[in-house]
Amino acid sequence: MTLTQLFDLSLIDRQHESALEFEENSYSFGDIDRQSNQIAQLLLLKKIVAGDRLCLYLENSVDFISIYLACVKVGIIVVPINILYKDREINHISDDAAPKALIAAEPTGGELYWNVKHLIAESASMLEERPKSTLTGDSPAAIVYTSGTTGTSKGAVLSHNNFIANIINLITCWKMSSADRLLLGLPLFHVHGLANGMHCWLVAGFKLKLLVKYQHETAETAFTSFKPTIFFGVPTIYVRLLDRPAAIAKSIGSTVRLFVSGSAPLPPQVMQDFKAKYGSTILERYGMTETLMNISNPYVGERRPGTVGFPLPGMSVKIIKPDGHEAAIDEEGELHVKGPNVFEGYWKRPDATAEAFEGGYFKTGDMCVVSEDGYYTLRGRKSDLIISSGYNIYPREIEEFLLEQAEIAEAAVVGVPDQVKGEIPVAYLVTKSDVDINSLQELCKQSLAAFKVPKKFVIVDHLPRTALGKVQKHLLPK
């Protein structure tokens, strides 16, 4: 079975039902199905076929959904690109994925650029019936780039079966149904918004209100006017929701039956404060781009603060100590996972793929411990990956950029705790000559996604190193 056959539970079987609210417009499942069929016909006319890649550099929109669905129906592999990325980051992905085109709202991606509005306009004249396809559950559906556990970003190849396993787990375990209403402001270019939000919407058939992006200032209106029953957020969003007036919080909490948090650690204090103010116990879960959702607190039963709960149906997990043996209860080790939601590997990176698996299990790079009664607690990452507002930042990418600047001799980027964003990137520099910090930060803003730009630059006379010359980031001055 393919994603399309599951999506047809709504696209066809609920075609007259209202499906989506976006900005001032609303759409039925039939509207979405027809537009994506027309786009699929146009892509085929343009000689883009199953197995080809298509990059989407788009903010959340109906266009994103329609083009994504058109690709899934035909078997064109979607490569969503973080809308915050700058040319340097976009080029890395388009060089690696070698797409037939890069669809965007403004010119980017060199000669691969297609304008999204022109594409949509052109598709309006196409036939509305769905093109034939001979896909299977093993067909690749998307390549999602992630900084993963080591090195610069690699393309995680996710199949129809990977996404389907995730959808069925979440709809079942979180009791999602066509009676629900999801408010979604998370980006569709990451799996939290895409695999948990969009995919579950299309299969469960609930009402979706999609935001271009989640904005703290306007979120309250979205909650009180749309009255969602379920909400997905990253911890940063929940931290900010704590500053809403008590009465508003109570009314929001009274309509939402399920708040889910993930993509970064949810501080137990935030969970406690949220319960006090919104009257709702957040359900925290743990996932990765490479594996989609692995572990979740229960819908029924204790949602234990500071833990991510139990492995989802079909998952096998192990905690492996540095010596290679399985950890005992309450003993820390690296989390290894296996299941139908775990990807096959990284795009064109057999070496990185082989390195990422051991004995059929994917090595997550996340340190973990399990309690006597089976609750899993994440203890941090093996690598020095920084997660800021739920976005992944790989220090090496920023360090390499800083070292390209003539006046910088050495650079080390670390994550520093931040009340709202969880962590923020801070750069420690050894300089060859005077550096104007403001112009350096401006330069970073032009070349790196906003969330990657170091929020602070610290000039030091040397970086602490081991005898082997490896920087000891934990010894850097706080």
Residues at the site binding ligand AMP, with contacts judged by CB under 6 A: 146, 262-265, 284, 286-289, 308, 364, 366, 378, 381, 387, 392
Instruction: Check binding of 190 to ligand MLC (CB under 6 A).
Output: yes
Q: Between 216-226 and 246-255, two packed helices, what is the crossing angle to 10 degrees? A: 50
**Contact call for residues 276 and 269 (beta carbons, < 8 A):** no
Q: How far is the CB of 272 from ligand MLC (least distance, A)?
A: 20
Q: How far is the CB of 13 from ligand MLC (least distance, A)?
A: 29
> What are the E-state strand segments in 223-375?
230-233, 258-261, 283-288, 292-296, 310-311, 316-320, 333-338, 345-346, 357-358, 361-370
Q: How far is the CB of 219 from ligand AMP (least distance, A)?
A: 21
Residue 12 is classified by DSSP as: T
Give the integer Cα–Cα distance in Å for 85 and 301: 40
Q: How far is the CB of 387 from ligand MLC (least distance, A)?
A: 7
Instruction: Check binding of 237 to ligand MLC (CB under 6 A).
Output: yes
To the nearest 10°, report the CA torsion of 454, 458, 464, 465.
Answer: 40
Instruction: Check binding of 307 to ligand MLC (CB under 6 A).
Output: no
Extract the tokens encoding 42.
Answer: 């146009």
| Choice between 237 and 398, CB closer to ligand MLC | 237
Query: Which range of residues in 40-48, 130-138, 189-197, 313-321 is near ligand MLC by CB under 6 A?
Result: 189-197
DSSP codes of every residue in 398-419 = HHHHHHTSTTEEEEEEEEEEET
Residues 368-407 that bind ligand MLC (CB under 6 A): 389-391
Extract the tokens encoding 156.
Answer: 């995680």
Select the binding partner of residue 35 from ligand AMP, ligand MLC, none (C-beta < 5 to 8 A, by kind). none
| Choice between 163 and 451, CB closer to ligand MLC | 451
Select the binding partner of residue 352 from ligand AMP, ligand MLC, none (C-beta < 5 to 8 A, by kind). none
What is the x/- site pattern for ligand MLC, positions 108-147, by CB under 6 A? ----------------------------------------
Query: Which range of residues in 182-190, 274-282, 343-351, 404-412 is near ligand MLC by CB under 6 A?
Result: 182-190
β-strand pairing of 113-115 with 101-104:
parallel
| Choice between 103 and 194, CB closer to ligand AMP | 194
| Choice between 227 and 381, CB closer to ligand AMP | 381
Of 144, 104, 122, nearest to 42 (Cα)? 122
Residue 68 Ramachandran class (φ > 0 left, ψ -120 to 50 alpha, else beta): alpha
Of 358, 427, 391, 392, nearest to 151 (Cα)? 392
Q: How far is the CB of 24 from ligand AMP (least distance, A)?
A: 32
Pick the binder of ligand MLC from 83, 167, 182, 270 (CB under 6 A): 83
Instruction: Check binding of 94 to ligand MLC (CB under 6 A).
Output: no
Pick the binder of ligand MLC from 263, 296, 341, 364 (CB under 6 A): 263
Instruction: Check binding of 414 to ligand MLC (CB under 6 A).
Output: no
Query: Which range of residues in 93-101, 183-191, 199-207, 267-275 is near ligand MLC by CB under 6 A?
Result: 183-191
- Helix count and strand count (H, E) for the chain: 15, 26
What is the x/- site pattern for ligand MLC, positions 278-297, by CB under 6 A? ---------xxx--------
Instruction: Check binding of 312 to ligand MLC (CB under 6 A).
Output: no
Pick the binder of ligand MLC from 124, 409, 450, 475 (CB under 6 A): 450
Select the binding partner of residue 29 from ligand AMP, ligand MLC, none (C-beta < 5 to 8 A, by kind). none
* Gyration radius (Cα) of the chain, Å: 22
| Residues sharing a CB contact under 8 Å with residue 443, sequence separation 6 or more, in sequence order | 405
Measured from the Cβ of residue 262, the count of other Cβ atoms closer than 10 Å reads 25
- Specify the 3-state DSSP secondary structure of 196: helix
Select the binding partner of residue 234 from ligand MLC, ligand AMP, none (C-beta < 5 to 8 A, by kind). ligand MLC
Give the integer Cα–Cα distance in Å for 69 and 37: 8
Query: 308 burial class (0-12, 13-18, 19+ CB within 10 angstroms)?
Result: buried
- The residues that touch ligand MLC, with contacts defined as CB under 6 A, are 59, 83-84, 186-187, 190-193, 213-214, 216, 234, 236-237, 262-263, 287-289, 389-391, 450-451
